[in-house]
Structure 1
Amino acid sequence: MVLPIIIGLGVTIVALTARSGIRAWEAYKLLSPMAIARMNNIKLRAKPYPYNSKFQQGRLNESLKARLEEYRGGFHGKMTESEALLILNISPEEIESLDDKMLKRKYRMIMLQNHPDKGGSPYLAMKLNEAREVLEHSVMLRRR
């Protein structure tokens, strides 16, 4: 009589542990390197690479140079955090202090420029809304 209860509890514990592990892995896959560094208290500083670009480009063959200068453009199928940061013009320095207030301010500034009622594109407005939603549900957003 007790054995089925013990087996049932064991199966429940294993299932809950597996489910939380899978959810944690899915959240980890969506993190940007900056967010992972911030969670581990690692300070990253973006330093410009000191080189003369004209000198370096002169050493490349023409086909490689054309491929490097090509802009692929467009949006990804499902918006990522890095794409949302680019759309809302949030710099790497601002990521460390990203909170609800800053997100709202950045979204508002760009939406005022691209709102469909002011002559902007409905598609861009939709993408701005999507970017805001992605970052609102992001682990990178500091909640106070």
Structure 2
Amino acid sequence: MVLPIIIGVGVTFAAMTVRSGIRAWEVYQKLTPLMIARLNGIKLTEAEITFQRNSSVRFRNLNPALKARLDQYRGGFSTRMTEAEALLILGISSSELAVLNEQLLKRKHRRAMVQNHPDRGGSPFLAMKINEARDVLGHSVMLKK
């Protein structure tokens, strides 16, 4: 007699938890950076508020070629890292690609690792991806030896 009541209460609790989580996620997706700053009690200057309000307008007024390049990269990582993705991760530009050697690769890898090292608050996953990018470019035909 008590078991059905306990099961019913458990199922009800689980359903309410899932429902409130879904509602919270929907609200979270609609938050702007300005709203998040206000919720956390962060004081913003008038210039920062103006920048946040105009940032979407600025994206609409971009050069069409640059906007096409930004729209082309959807973000995230490929399942198997490509050379193009490794160049993006390490921040190697097309002008630097012509002179890409081991020394430049080492310097770019070091800069990315300093910014994202797990011992300094960075992500272990990003550090792994940075190392993988170095390995991919280290074995690439683009690297001048």
| TM-score in terms of structure 1 length | 0.51
Which among 105, 108, 125 is matched to residue 106 of structure 1? Answer: 108
In the TM superposition, what whole-angstrom CA distance separates every residue of 1:30-75 from its partner, at most 9, and x where no partner exists?
Answer: xxxxxxxxxxxxxxxxxxxxxxx74997xxxxxxxxxx85863210
Q: What pairs up with 1:47-126 in 2 under 5 angstroms?
A: 54=61, 69=71, 72-126=74-128
* Structure 1 residues 69 and 116, CA gap change in structure 2 (3 angstroms): same
Deviating above 3 A after TM superposition, structure 1's stretches of 4 or more consecutive aligned residues are 53-57, 68-71
CA distance in 2, matches of 1:108, 1:77: 24
CA distance in 2, matches of 1:100, 1:56: 34
Q: Which has the higher helix share?
A: 2
State yes or no: 1:129 paired with 2:134: no
* Structure 1 residues 116 and 96, CA gap change in structure 2 (3 angstroms): same
| TM-score in terms of structure 2 length | 0.51
Aligned residue type for 1:142:
K
Which among 130, 134, 142 is matched to residue 140 of structure 1? Answer: 142
Higher relative contact order (CA 8 A, sep 6+): 1
CA distance in 2, matches of 1:74, 1:55: 23
* Structure 1 residues 80 and 55, CA gap change in structure 2 (3 angstroms): closer
Larger-Rg structure: 2
Specify every segment of 5 or more residues in structure 2 that has no aligned partner in the other structure, as ranges: 1-59, 65-69
Q: CA RMSD in A?
A: 2.6
Equivalenced residues, count: 82
